Amino acid sequence: MLVFQKGHSREEGLLDDPVRYSHSDLGGVGLLQVPTARHAPDGDFHVNFSHVSPYNRTSISAQVLSWLEGTVRYTAITNRKYSNDEEFSGDQSYKDRGFDVKVRLSQESKLIPEVSLAMHDFAGTGLFSTEYILGSKRFFNWDFTLGLAWGNGGARGGIKNPFTLISNRFKDRNAETGEGGDVSFGNYFSGEEVSVVGGVEYAPSGSDWVLKVEFDGNDYQSEGLDNNFNQVYPINVGAGYRINDLFSVQLGLERGDTVMAGIQLGMNFGSEEALMPKFDKKPESILQKSPDLRSVKDVLSLDEEAFGLRDRLLKEKVNMSALKSTDTEVTIYAKQSKYRDQAEAVGRVTRVLINELPSTLSSVRYINQEANLNTNQVVVYTGPFEKAVVNDSQVGFESSFMKKGNAPIGYEEGVNKLVEYPSFDWRIRPVFSPSFGAPEAFVIYQLWVKLAADIQFNDNWSLNNVMGIDVLNNYDELEVVSESVLPHVRSDVAKYAEEGSTGIKRMQSDYIWKPSKTTFARISGGLFESMYGGVGGELLYRSVSNRLAMGIDANYVKQRDYNQLFEFRDYTVVTGHLSVYYDMPISNTLAKVSAGRYLAGDVGTTIDLSRKFKTGVVMGGWTTFTDVSSEDFGEGSFDKGIYIKFPLDLFFVESRKESLTASWRPITRDGGQKLIMGNQLYSLISN
């Protein structure tokens, strides 16, 4: 794909400013078929669609870190059927899944090019498996790339593989494609010969056009599925045009006689400019008023004053459950439901309290609650806070006027509780649930209505219910029956989808409490998810001042019937994990490692890495390895996938706290499958 991203040059006189980046047919930053050593700005996210007969490519590319690009791609090979069974394949073409990564090895300087290592289809069937070492150097509006390609992208050859000088094992490259998900370490940088690749990109200053010419290292005589075709010229040419900040289009000629066309949608999650402009009610101005020397405790001693204050805070979408006061300080226990950033809510609450309470108020103690758990506390000193608020601007957490710490275990002695039990809350919203790459249809989808109702019986005990009502789906196209040799803990998903299209998604009762200021506990029972119900528990250690957290959970569950009502099947299992979380100081990245027993009774480890960007978007991925062999696991070899969590704040002109999560895994198998439990403690207290 050919699009532009603005950046800044590092060497005046050699690098044009702004530096612009474009994307290749395959999705990542590059020329046409060949990637470059360039990387998009940190947080860049693009969806790409391209056509170069016989390939239709759909890909998602993300600049996960400033030096790491990742791409997930589906390739429809339109002149090949999905399988050898023509009746089963129907009209669906063969689909190939692939993962790409590109790592920057060195940055560009006045004399040294930017150098990157790129690996295409490194964890897939290997149909298009290619490794690249690339260097890119910019001179004014021209950006030159030169490198070497191994594998599919270097099939033209012409140069002896330099790695064969190190070891003879690099001479042989397995031409057979494996099952999706295989990682063929033995093939990387192997083969008798490699090919030179490269090209040039010309992006005129002040223009939205970009022109490209490249030398293609693939001669297309060794394509997978015996799908070889002629290449008139090894030179590809193309042009791209940036329509606006979101859309770009491209057109070109490849192999000398094949038209390339594509379109791309993109934005940058690393910049708050990607957020919709907000038209929230302005934060309350701090009033100039006559000194009031009454104590805060005296003013709030009357219930009508306390309930009046609660009503005032509800207008700021802050639900206060209790408060406590001294002569100079007020403590409130509250949950805010509007703002993605807790600092926004705390700042608004502090403004209201300064205006409503006497001038003797010197500090506000805000105890944040999630599911009635005290997750953290923030103390705001009102004097420095007032000085920091200029022109009614909202201020975040600043050490000059606030202190953040661990919250108390529960309601402290002497608090005035303003909540009555049982309390009831409900929500309704539409949900669209797609999955991709099924044999029967490329997209299997359901549009359904989510009805959620929560009952809080007391400070610790709650019941959470989710009902799903089907509106529209194409589950009737699902025909393949799982042949897994493992217990069918997930692979019967088609039966659950069709027979339980309308059903109970969750009916979970939880008792949640804090044994200490830094430990959290949960005991649960009921219907945990669409496929399992049972009993279980969890214990978590987490301190506000510590980047490391640890948790353990154990559950005895029984498989639910396909109709997702109250019946169960015969399968039962004990599953649980010991988990370690580390909030890394680099790039706001969270690492989670879990070890334990999975739903099929297999034992192993899951590694989950995710990063949160300034917009609130979270990108992450996981991989799981258990004692199930790749043969027993089936296609995919081991479980892995990616997910993106989108805050609704990204799409609305008013602030929203909620988010939507989209996940993708190559194929659903039975090995390495975890229970999908509601109210997991780490997620709950990290809101």
Which residues does residue 507 pair with via DSSP β-bridges, in sequence order? Answer: 465, 527
Q: Which of the listed residues 360, 387, 417 is the one where a domain comes to its end?
A: 417
Within-domain flag for 60 = yes
Within-domain flag for 639 = yes
Q: Which of the listed residues 377, 393, 417 is the one where a domain comes to its end?
A: 417
Is the domain of 409 the same as that of 430?
no
Query: Which alpha helices (DSSP H) does 547-667 contain, by range?
Result: 630-633
Residue range 365-390: average pLDDT? Answer: 90
Omega within 30 of 0 (cis) for the link into 487: no
pLDDT at 586: 81
Omega within 30 of 0 (cis) for the link into 35: no
Confidence of residue 571 (pLDDT cuts 50, 70, 90): very high
Is there a contact between 542 and 376 (Cβ–Cβ < 8 Å)? no
Is the domain of 669 the same as that of 646?
yes
Residue range 174-198: average pLDDT? Answer: 74
Confidence of residue 4 (pLDDT cuts 50, 70, 90): very low
Supply 253's token pair: 């000629």
Within-domain flag for 283 = no
Is the domain of 187 the same as that of 48?
yes
Q: How far apart are CA 85 and CA 614, in angstroms?
A: 49
Is the domain of 427 the same as that of 413?
no
- Domain with residue 217: its CATH number is 2.40.160.40
Domain residues for the domain of 152 are 44-268
pLDDT at 473: 87
Which regions of 304-401 does DSSP assign to beta strands (E)?
A: 318-325, 329-336, 363-370, 373-381
Q: Which of the listed residues 417, 437, 457 is the one where a domain comes to its end?
A: 417
pTM: 0.88
Please tell me what DSSP assigns to residue 158. Answer: -
Is the domain of 149 the same as that of 217?
yes
Number of domains the chain contains: 3
Is the domain of 428 the same as that of 507?
yes
Please tell me what DSSP assigns to residue 154. Answer: G
Is there a contact between 675 and 575 (Cβ–Cβ < 8 Å)? yes
pLDDT at 26: 93
Within-domain flag for 6 = no
Q: At what angle do helices 303-314 and 342-356 cross, to 10 degrees?
A: 140
Within-domain flag for 18 = no
- Domain with residue 655: its CATH number is 2.40.160
Is the domain of 248 the same as that of 397?
no
Is the domain of 389 the same as that of 428?
no
Q: Is 245 exposed, middle or buried (0-12, 13-18, 19+ CB in 10 A)?
A: middle
3-state secondary structure 471-506: EEECHHHCCCCCCCCCCCCCCCHHHHHHHCCCEEEE
pLDDT, tens only, 35-58? 999 999 999 999 999 999 999 999
Is there a contact between 362 and 329 (Cβ–Cβ < 8 Å)? yes
Query: Has residue 322 got a pLDDT over 60?
Result: yes
Within-domain flag for 565 = yes
Of the listed ranges 70-79, 132-141, 393-402, 477-486, the least confidently predicted one is 393-402
- Alpha carbon distance, N-terminus to C-terminus of the chain: 36
Tell me the three state secondary structure of residue 288: coil
Distance of CA 183 to the CA centre of its chain: 23
Q: How far apart are CA 173 and CA 151, in angstroms?
A: 8
Please tell me what DSSP assigns to residue 226. Answer: G
Confidence of residue 96 (pLDDT cuts 50, 70, 90): confident
Is the domain of 371 the same as that of 448?
no
Please tell me what DSSP assigns to residue 180. Answer: T
Confidence of residue 437 (pLDDT cuts 50, 70, 90): low
Is the domain of 461 the same as that of 514?
yes
Is the domain of 166 the same as that of 98?
yes
pLDDT, tens only, 126-143? 789 999 999 999 998 999
Backbone angles phi, psi at 275, to 5 degrees: -75, 145
Within-domain flag for 8 = no
Q: How far apart are CA 158 and CA 140, in angstroms?
A: 32
Within-domain flag for 289 = no
Omega within 30 of 0 (cis) for the link into 18: yes
Is there a contact between 444 and 479 (Cβ–Cβ < 8 Å)? no
Please tell me what DSSP assigns to residue 412. Answer: P
Is the domain of 264 the same as that of 332?
no
